[in-house]
Amino acid sequence: MRRRQFLAAIGAGTAAGAIAKPAVAQSMPEIKWRLTSSFPKSLDIMYGASDTLSKFVAEATDDQFQIQPFAAGEITPGMQAIEAVSNNTVEMCHTVANYFVGKDPTFALFGGAPFGLNARQQDAWLRDREGLKLLNEFAKKFELYALVGGNTGTQMGGWFRKEIKEVADLNGLKFRVGAWAGRIVQRLGGMPQQTSGGDIYSALEKSAIDAAEWVGPYDDEKLALYKVAKYYYYPGWEGGTALHFFINRTKWAELPKNYQIIVAAAAAHVSANVQAKYDARNPEALRRLIAAGTQLRPFTQPVMEAAYKASNEVNGETSAANADFKKIYESLTTFRNEQYLWWQIADYTFDNFMIRNRPHG
């Protein structure tokens, strides 16, 4: 009797196993995606974000879900990454939303609008307030689903071949700058230029442009911009530039729920990594740049105030003409103002004290 019961139990276990295997296979189907980055491989933090996400997803799914990353230009130009996702040429991309203000200026508010939020404030608005929800409501128009994919932190103002002492020095200046910040430059008399990261050095060297901003010391050193422009200005007008993974909305909806959770977890892991790497590596890179002859300069108060005024004018005019922009800009600025009530008591006061009391030399 016991033997018959034992054999019956084995049979039942075998049957259960036979049923379980297809269920597991169904929840872990084999899927292959392509991811186009807006960045060249030489920019290892930004391009590396795509590589890190790909490895995370593969390992979490026993290689059942594979996302193959491609650098800018391998499938599509970096500045056209969102179009490639929107039309399903690729399933996803890693990029900066404000590259695509030509499609709709509202994109600028999610990438790092000039005089908007700093990096931590952006992360808080996107994750714990309505920022990411607003982005995904807006992104439906372009068949996109968005996940936060990192932040560069506060950027530098850029590399200039001549000193900028007053607003008049911007007149006629051919300045490679982010698309939305370019509207500020234009209002101040400059001539904004759109140049991809890999082409900035050549454009400066050939005098096709007079100045260029990119990110900060670590990435700017990799592009060797200090070799073709002497003056390095700070601060940038972007308190932080958020990066995003944009996914084709239909492809996202088709993913099993567990795969969606894995991709979201991978993006969150990448996001923390990107910010940490820039914070750790920028000080070392800045020291090397100065040792190589870079002339560090602050933008004067009149230049900063003129840029801030121009930014408010551009945003006000755009809000009057674009309902999406107005709704999201109001959310962002309300959150910014609340944040600085706290920031002036906490972070700013502490950081200011520590900077004044740090060891020198």
pLDDT given for residue 259 in this prediction: 98
Continuous H helices in the chain: 2-27, 44-60, 81-86, 108-111, 119-128, 131-139, 179-187, 200-205, 217-222, 249-254, 257-291, 301-321, 323-343, 347-357
Q: Which residue has the higher pLDDT, 325 or 196?
A: 325
Q: For residue 345, what pLDDT is reported?
A: 96
Determine the distance from the C-alpha atom of residue 222 to the mean position of all C-alpha atoms in its chain, rounded to a whole number. Answer: 18
How do residues 267-288 score in pLDDT, each as one tens digit?
A: 999 999 999 999 999 999 999 9
Instruction: Please report which confidence band the pLDDT of residue 359 belongs to, taking 50, 70 and 90 as the band edges.
Output: confident
> Quick check: 201 pLDDT over 60?
yes
Does residue 188 register a pLDDT over 90?
yes
Say how far apart CA 271 and CA 66 lie, in whole Å. 20
Mean pLDDT, the chain, rounded, equals 92
Q: So what's the pLDDT on residue 20?
A: 47
Contact 159, 211 (CB under 8 A): yes
The residue type at 159: W
| Ordered structural domains, the chain, with CATH | 29-153+240-280 (3.40.190.170)
- For the chain, what is the radius of gyration of the CA atoms? 24
* For residues 147-167, average pLDDT: 97
pLDDT of residue 196: 78
Residues 144, 249: Cα–Cα separation, whole Å: 5
Contact between residue 294 and residue 230 where contact means Cβ atoms under 8 Å apart: yes
Tokens of 85: 């996702």
Interatomic CA distance for residues 39 and 28, integer angstroms:
31
pLDDT digits (tens, 9 = 90+) for 212-268: 999 999 999 999 999 999 999 999 999 999 999 999 999 999 999 999 999 999 999
pLDDT in tens, 2-61: 434 433 443 444 344 444 445 555 678 999 999 999 999 999 999 999 999 999 999 999
Per-residue pLDDT at 361: 55
Q: For residue range 292-322, what is the model confidence (pLDDT) as tens digits?
A: 999 999 999 999 999 999 999 999 999 999 9
pLDDT tens for residues 68-119? 999 999 999 998 999 999 999 999 999 999 889 999 999 999 998 999 999 9
Q: Which of 157-161, 197-201, 221-225, 294-298 has the lowest mean pLDDT?
A: 197-201
